[in-house]
């Protein structure tokens, strides 16, 4: 009989509940963006659903105002 390996999952550290996002905090927002320009998913960041929505909205605002690039240039 073939034994299957169990997938080892790690839970991210819970984010600070008082963490707030603003489109003006470019250095903080850039930590939540991949090299290709995508937003890091909630499962990896450890944010709550409400925080993740606010993060995505802030990133989109910063991109629209040209404070963050849509994609990273190599």
35 in a domain, yes or no?
Answer: yes
18 in a domain, yes or no?
Answer: no
Give the pLDDT of the chain (74 residues) as one tens digit per residue.
Answer: 678 887 766 667 777 888 889 999 999 999 999 888 899 999 888 899 999 999 999 999 999 999 998 887 65
How many whole angstroms separate alpha carbon 23 and alpha carbon 58? 5
pTM across the whole model: 0.78
- The secondary structure of residue 18, as a DSSP letter, is T
The range of the structural domain enclosing residue 30 comes to 26-64
Place of tokens 């605002």: 61
Domain count of the chain? 1
How many whole angstroms separate alpha carbon 8 and alpha carbon 22? 34
């Amino acid at each position: 009989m073939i034994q299957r390996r169990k997938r080892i999952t790690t839970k991210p550290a819970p984010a600070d509940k008082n963490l707030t996002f603003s489109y003006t905090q470019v250095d903080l927002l850039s930590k939540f963006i991949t090299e290709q320009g995508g937003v890091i998913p909630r499962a990896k960041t450890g944010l709550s659903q409400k925080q993740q929505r606010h993060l995505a909205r802030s990133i989109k605002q910063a991109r629209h105002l040209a404070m963050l690039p849509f994609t990273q240039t190599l």
